[in-house]
A and B are shown apart, each in its own frame.
Chain A
Amino acid sequence: MIDGPEMQTKRMTFNSRWLPYALLAPQVIITLIFFIWPAGQALWQSMLREDPFGLRSTFIWFRNFERLFEDPHYLGSMKTTLIFSVSTTLLSMSVALLFATMVNRMIRSKDGYTTFLVWPYAVAPAIAGVLWWFIFNPSVGILPYVLEGFGYDWNHRLNSGDAMVLVVISAAWKQISYNFLFFLAGLHSIPQSLIEAAAIDGAGRTKRFWTIIFPLLSPTTFFLMVVNIVYAMFDTFGVIHATTEGGPAQATNILVYKVFRDGFVGQNLGSSAAQSVILMIIVIALTVVQFRWIERRVNY
């Protein structure tokens, strides 16, 4: 997508001194006001400390960052985010890959199954959270009722593990559609001749999957991993906020939720800004990884 700094135009172009700037103006102005300026503010504020009344602030270099890395709550939140993102990514991608391989062998029913599997993409993360929160509700939910039959007493309001399972399932459920579509497209692009050749050599279905199909899917898998981690880290704010609100006892307090809580509810601006900056670095790193990979794929 990005052809590097020498990025082309058309061979023949229009000549105008001012028109290209005017065309770019709306996008650039919005970007400067609502993206670049606030990001700069976050950088600046991350090095300030405000007094309790918000009257004076002192420049304290990286003290906010140091304090964060000494704070067990913040480190705990990092660990929670890691567990949450990795579990969501693995669950969602493995289920999607299973569905995609199964759908890919269908001929007539392919489109039918696809239709049934794509629509959860349209459900907002917050709504996905509320749906599963209802199903898992300790007093009226159907799953705690079933689990009770197996002797398990489900309660995500008290039990940290249960709460984590709830948010992971909600977040992963919504993302299955996306992964499914990309895996299906990836499977489509694998040449049938390779699979036939392996079949003639006597490789069964399972063997063909692990030795041919899965390795050839690796670009798709890698791309989806990055996208899913970004999704789990940043787009799942709604899942957490609408259901567990970070609880019980911080068990589902992921980084994005913590920034919001510390900045808006707790009014700890310096710390919240420092947390923003750390998140920014994470997104930048993930975006770079994603685009580096795309360049490589184009050069194949």
Chain B
Amino acid sequence: MVENDRWGTLFAHIILILGVAVVVFPVYVAVIASTHEGGTFLRGVMPLLPGTYGWENYTTVIFEGRSNAGAPPIGGMLWNSFVMAMSIAIGKIAISLLSAFAIVYFRFRFRIFFFWLIFVTLMLPVEVRIVPTFEVVAQLGMLNTYAGLSIPLIASATATFLFRQFFMTVPEEMLEAARVDGAGPLKFFKDILMPLSVTNIAAMFVIMFIYGWNQYLWPLLITTDDSYYTIVMGIQRMITGGDSEPLWHLIMATVVLAALPPILVILFMQRLFVKGLTETEK
């Protein structure tokens, strides 16, 4: 620090503590609401201190649901979200590693063309081609399947670029040594390149898992069977599904369960997360 100003630092702490409070507040309120019984919300304003119905509410939403109010049990939705997030993360990483390997370690015809083809995916998010993509998936018979939930989303320009960038920094001597030892391309990829990429793969995994878990529009389009609903899109069905007032205590328990897995991933893997985020966007 240039000068030592105690008041300035104190002021900064106050701003940050207020800031953190504002940032945390919505989730705090959700957690509190999920520990009350339904009747609390009929009596007026939301509570700000925990109630005693937490266990009951969470077991209800996970195992039973409230089918009469349009809320199926969410245990299955959590599982679907997990399968979708894992498939997307693993799929994106796998195909991007292979593409980056091809682009960096081989010279072949149309190399630049393929590179641009991958780049173009950045410019075509699902949101801008909703109806035709839905039609393709429908024609392939992939509606209401795990394949339909994940495969169309695993093309990844960002992951390909990240791995390409990283491969370019791997010393040339590695390849020379491998060739002297008679290693072919696939052996080199598996035994040398992969072990060197572990940190980058992990960082990418954190980002892509969160991306997959938080998908909303895509599952909304291609699932009509509620046994394939994911948790994030399932919440919307809970809100609009019943005719009565929303069941706030159950909705908020669902919200907490839907938000928790990716939040835990960030908190436990903060360094990898920051690395993944700042490097993919460069």
Interface positions of A (Cβ within 8 A of B): 1-2, 5, 7-16, 19-21, 23-24, 26-28, 30-39, 41-42, 45, 95, 98-99, 102-103, 105-107, 109, 113-128, 130-132, 134-135, 137, 139-142, 145, 173, 176, 178, 181-182, 185, 195-196, 199, 205, 223, 227, 234-235, 237-238, 241-242, 256, 259-260, 263-264, 269, 272-273, 276, 279-280, 283-284, 287, 294
Contact = CB atoms under 8 A, between A and B. Distances in A.
- A5, A99, A102, A181 interface centre (most CB from chain B within 10 Å): A102
A122 B12 contact: no
Nearest to A103: B16
Interface string B95-123: 11011011111111001101101111111
A122 B118 contact: no
B214 A125 contact: yes
Contact of B270 (A16, A118, A196, A264): A118
B133 to A, nearest CB: 4
Contacts, number: 304
Nearest to B48: A142
Contacts of A24: 98-99, 102-103, 114
Given A39-B132, A122-B259, A199-B3, A116 B105 contact: no
Given A19-B185, A173-B23, A134 B248 contact: yes
A19 B158 CA distance: 23
Nearest to B265: A122
In this complex, the member of A8, A26, A107 whose beta carbon has the largest number of chain B beta carbons within 10 angstroms is A26
B132 A259 contact: no
A56 B133 CA distance: 21
A256 B125 CA distance: 11
19 contacts: A2-B161, A9-B105, A9-B107, A14-B188, A24-B103, A31-B121, A33-B136, A122-B263, A124-B258, A137-B46, A176-B23, A178-B277, A181-B277, A199-B2, A241-B217, A263-B130, A263-B131, A269-B131, A276-B131
A256 B128 CA distance: 7
Interface bin, chain B: 35 or more
B130 A185 contact: no
B117 A28 contact: yes
B102 A20 contact: yes
B68 interface: no
Interface string B123-144: 1110111111111110000000
A198 to B, nearest CB: 8
B29 A113 contact: no
Interface stretch (B50-58, B69-77, B148-156): B148-156
Given A34-B136, A99-B19, A27 B108 contact: no
A31 B117 contact: yes
Interface of B: 1-3, 5, 8-9, 12-13, 15-16, 19-20, 23-27, 29-30, 33, 41, 44-46, 48, 94-96, 98-99, 101-108, 111-112, 114-115, 117-125, 127-137, 151-152, 154-156, 160-161, 165, 168, 172, 175-176, 179, 184-186, 188, 210, 213-214, 216-217, 220-221, 232-233, 235-236, 239, 245, 248, 251-252, 255, 258-259, 262-263, 265-267, 270, 273-274, 277-278, 281-282
Contacts of B104: 9-10
B176 to A, nearest CB: 6
Contacts of B235: 126-127, 130, 242
A39 B165 contact: no
A21 B12 CA distance: 56
Nearest to A275: B128
A113 B45 contact: no
Contacts of A256: 127
Nearest to A195: B2
B131 A272 contact: yes
Contacts of A140: 41, 44-46, 248
B99 A113 contact: no
Looking at B125, B130, B214, which has the most chain A CB atoms within 10 Å of its CB? Answer: B130
B281 A227 contact: yes
Contacts of B19: 95, 98-99, 102, 117
A14 B105 contact: yes
Contact of A23 (B12, B98, B124, B266): B98
A223 B122 CA distance: 16
Nearest to B129: A38
A142 B32 CA distance: 13
Given A115-B270, A118-B273, A126-B235, A105 B106 contact: no
A2 B119 contact: yes
A105 B16 CA distance: 11
Contacts of B125: 234, 283
Given A10-B105, A127-B259, A279 B127 contact: yes
Given A12-B172, A24-B98, A120 B270 contact: no
A142 B248 CA distance: 14
A37 B131 CA distance: 12
A42 B123 CA distance: 14
Contacts of A8: 168
A116 B270 CA distance: 11
Contacts of B217: 237-238, 241, 260
